[in-house]
Structure 1
Amino acid sequence: MAFGKGEVKVKWVNDLIQKHNLAVVGIQETKRKHMSEMLIRKLWGSSDFEFLSIDSQGNGGGLLSIWNNSLFSKDTVLCSEDCLIFTGTWIENKTATCLINVYASQIPTRRAELWMFLSSFMENWRRVVALFGDFNDVRDVKEIKGSNSDSNDILKFNRFINNNNLIDVGIGGTKYTWVIGGGVKLPKLDRFLVSDNFGEFWPNFEVVTDARLYSDHKPLIMKQEKRYYGQPPLNSSTHG
């Protein structure tokens, strides 16, 4: 989701965090040259957090990641203008995980360089990975309405996903994630990409959207859905 100036957006982000009880938050295009701890506290709503940020350049860009430090313990950090990478361990299940907040450039050559950089990093990591954010690319012409997309860009993005054995998590509740010009142009630029072993540690995970109130991007929420299949039978044993 995009995040600019104003108390209204701060409250909106805080409402989303509280509503979904989020453990990690990634915000793209903060448009802030400095993210103060006081501002992050307003966004998060309590003191049990850590955060990392990349300042905006000019009037655009900027990345922010916030997480609950009682649930996730950070180890290493690697930043660039287009992504914010941090590794650590989930305290409850001791799972080493890499979280990558992405705000890919609108320039195709820079996106291609980002895919190469992330591929090199993940080749050395080889554990649980979750990438999330604005990738500024679509995977198919069906993921964009109202304009065209370069087939070469689509090919490179799909190759990046497939070569790294990433799963493009389906999004419930929407087909497009960015609304431009009152709906004249509708692309799916935002998504979650996870490693193929992600479900071993978080089964029944899914991604849904929330209302697009103060952003032109729809907020994406990943959660672990607890599924109920009814009461077990009175006698569940088998007889030969």
Structure 2
Amino acid sequence: MNKSMLITWNIRGLCRWEKKVVVRKLVTRTKSKIVFLQETKLRSVEVKTISQLCGRRCNFEFKFSASVGAAGGLISCWDSSFFSNERCVIEQNFIGLIGKYAGSDLKCALINVYGPNVASERRVFFDRLATLISKIELPVLIGGDFNIVRNAEEKIGASFNKKSMAVFSEFIEGLTLIDPPLRGSFHLVELQGSTIIQQTG
């Protein structure tokens, strides 16, 4: 499999044109095949929106989860010449794409996440996500903003909910997921020939 780029970014609102231009420049520069955006704050997404984000001359398909008021909102885009989506699961806090890489029999799941900010909702969220991953029984790649860290050192100057941190660690360890180390404001990971970029701030 050729090296390909996946971008996952908490965009903190996509209503302004300037934000869309920044995303498009990044997608163009990195030649990304998959784009996960969180906290779009959009209640609807059209083909025109994806063209503004990924360029007019592209084969990008998309799924979205609408924001609730001005909170949340997810967009998952993928180049159909790279990934073929067969089915999807869309909920308020995640979009799960299930399909295979084009030109191969390698099936997998790609999950875009924006976790709840309310501590009391996190256990239900992680249980629901763990159930989905366990049922599909496929290699899975998860990107996004969980709105929680595993260690206090990962976010300086913030208050922490130790119970939520424990729930997050239990989720990762229970599914034997790999949690890549944070480097500056991005995650840079080589995984199955794909590089994941996650902007955290």
Give the TM-score of the pair, scaled to structure 1.
0.73
Unaligned runs of 5+ in 2: 1-9
For residues 172-191 of structure 1, the aligned pairs below 5 Å read 172=183, 174=184
Q: Quote the Cα distance in structure 1 between the aligned partners of 2:81 and 2:47.
A: 17
Q: Quote the Cα distance in structure 1 between the aligned partners of 2:135 and 2:88.
A: 15
1:101 aligns with 2:122: no
Once the two structures are TM-superposed, the CA of residue 59 in structure 1 deviates from its matched residue by 1.2
1:31 aligns with 2:41: yes
Once the two structures are TM-superposed, the CA of residue 208 in structure 1 deviates from its matched residue by 4.6
For residues 1-240 of structure 1, the aligned pairs below 5 Å read 1-2=10-11, 3-45=13-55, 46-172=57-183, 174=184, 199=191, 202-203=192-193, 205-208=194-197, 217-218=200-201
Larger RCO of the pair (alpha carbons < 8 Å, separation 6+): 2
Q: Quote the Cα distance in structure 2 between the aligned partners of 1:118 and 1:76.
A: 16
Matched letter for residue 76 of structure 1: R
Matched letter for residue 148 of structure 2: D
Unaligned runs of 5+ in 1: 178-190, 211-216, 219-240
Q: Quote the Cα distance in structure 1 between the aligned partners of 2:160 and 2:195.
A: 27
Q: Quote the Cα distance in structure 1 between the aligned partners of 2:188 and 2:39.
A: 17
C-alpha distance 76-116 of structure 1, shift in aligned 2 (>3 A) = same
Matched letter for residue 31 of structure 2: N
Once the two structures are TM-superposed, the CA of residue 170 in structure 1 deviates from its matched residue by 2.3
CA contact (8 A) 2:67 2:74 kept: yes
Give the TM-score of the pair, scaled to structure 2.
0.87
Once the two structures are TM-superposed, the CA of residue 118 in structure 1 deviates from its matched residue by 1.0
CA contact (8 A) 2:188 2:197 kept: no
Q: Quote the Cα distance in structure 2 between the aligned partners of 1:79 and 1:99.
A: 12
CA RMSD, Structure 1 to Structure 2 (Å): 2.1
SS in 1 for 2:178: strand
How many residues are treated as equivalent by the alignment? Answer: 190
C-alpha distance 101-162 of structure 1, shift in aligned 2 (>3 A) = same
Matched letter for residue 142 of structure 1: E
